[in-house]
Structure formats: C-alpha cells, structure tokens
Structure 1
Amino acid sequence: MNVIFFLTPKNEVIYETPDSTMRQALERMEYHRYSAIPLIDGKGKYVGTITEGDLLWKLKNTPDLNFMNTSKILLKDVPRHADNVPVSIDSNIGDLIYSAINQNFVPVVDDQGIFIGIIKRSDIINYCYESLYGKREENSVIFK
C-alpha cells in the first residue's frame, strides 16, 4: 500500500507561510480548531510546523506582546520547538506509522521537497481499526 492512499491534498490543508503573522495563524487555528498547522514557503516547500505552544511561548516570552499586536510578529520570527518530520510520497507504510506516533499529522513532500499534502494520524488509526475489527458502527459505545 502506498502512503498516497491516506493523503489529504494541499488544496484541502490549512497552512500558513513564514511571512504570515501570529494573529493570522492564531485566528486560523482557532477557527478550524487545530493545534498545529504546516508552514509552506513561497516556493511550495514544507518548512516546518507552527503549534499553539510555539505561539503561546512567543506571547509569554515577548515583553509588551498581546493579542492586539500579534499582527506585527511574523511566523518566521516565532521559535518552533518541534517540526513534524515529513515523509516522501514514495515512503512505505512503516515509515508513515513511525512518523505518526508523535505527530498529529505527517507532511508529505515530493522529491524536490515540495509540499503535496498531509496524512492525519486519525486516518491511519481508523484504517488500522477497520483492518483489525471491521467497519465501526456509529452507535458503538466506543465512538460516542
């Protein structure tokens, strides 16, 4: 099985650029209820992941920074504590699962490092569950 089976393509992914502002990222993450989103540069390359924690630490550690003036801080100036490690489009499922252990999503890039989408950990877990136990039932106690 190829990792493309799980791919959410770039045009369906919420992301920001390093030149976006903290405020843009905060508002987008709040609206979509995400705790982390990919950062994609102007050439389409994956450059990292910005998390709620990164934004919170920047806010805490910058004197006089408050929500109102977060529009003056670019994401490229926000220290990132961890980046989601991308996989290549031709990676095997073992690499994908290993990457997803500690990441909510796994960025997928082509041979030139161009971002083509993400694979959500929840999609991998759902696939594994259905492979082991069959299709889940919506009124199951586990899934309420």
Structure 2
Amino acid sequence: MNIAFFLLPKHEVASVTLHSTLRQTLEKMEFHRYTSIPIVKEDGTYAGTVTEGDLLWFFKNNEELSFDNAHRRLLAEIPLRLQIKPVRIDADMNDLISLAKAQNFVPVVDDTEKFIGIVRRSDIIEYCTRQLFRAEAK
C-alpha cells in the first residue's frame, strides 16, 4: 500500500515555522485543538514537531515568561523533547506503522526533504482494522 493514499497534504495541515512566536504557536494549537504541530523551515523542509509538553516545560523553566509576553519568544528558542522523524513519501506501511505507535501523526517529506503533509495515526489504525477484519472474514 502506498502511503500517499493516506497523506493529508500540507495545505490542509496547520503548521508553524521556527520564526513563529510562542504565543502564535499556542494559539494555533488551541484553535485546531492539537497536542502537537509540525514545524516547517522557511525553505519548506521539515524541522521537527513541537508538543504541548515542550511548551509547558519552556514556561516552567522560564519564570519571567507569561502568556502576555509570549509573543517575544520564538519557537526556535524552545527545546524539543522528542525528535519526531518524518518518512519519505516512498516509505512502506511498516515504516509508517512503527512511527505512528508513538505519535499522533507522521510527517511526510519528498525526496528533497520538503514537508508535503502528514499521515494521521487514526487513519493508519482505521486501515489496519479494515485489513484485520478482511483477514478474519476469509
């Protein structure tokens, strides 16, 4: 199965850049009700994924920081706790499934490392469930 079938294209994915502020990132995550969001560099390459935990730890470790002044801090300053790796669009389902076990989505890049979208864990689970029921029906 080609993972392109599951791809949610980048124009439908909420993302941020390293130049986004902490406040912009929080507001985008809140608006979309996401617990993590991909970071895309200005040149279109995938830079990582920021999580709620990353933001919370940053607030905890910077006592002078508040929501009122969060617009002064850039996402590039925030350490990412997890190094969420993308898959290439030509990856196989096994690669996708192994990454999806530990994250809500899997970032997808093309052969030039440009971010092209995500595959949601819920779509992978749905696919696996259909395959399981087909196998049981035989």
CA deviations over 1:98-136 (Å, ceiling 9, x no partner): 1111111000001111000000001000111122236xx
1:55 paired with 2:58, answer no
Aligned to 1:67: 67
CA RMSD of the aligned region, Å?
Answer: 0.9
Aligned to 2:15: 15
Aligned to 2:114: 114
TM-score by length of 2: 0.94
Aligned to 2:80: 80
AA aligned opposite 1:25 = T
Q: Distance in 2 between matches of 1:15 and 1:84?
A: 14
TM-score by length of 1: 0.90
* Unaligned 5+ runs, structure 1: 135-144
* Unaligned 5+ runs, structure 2: none
* Identity among equivalent pairs (%): 53
Shift of 1:36: 0.2
Q: Distance in 1 between matches of 2:111 and 2:128?
A: 27
8 A Cα contact 1:84 1:105, kept in partner:
no
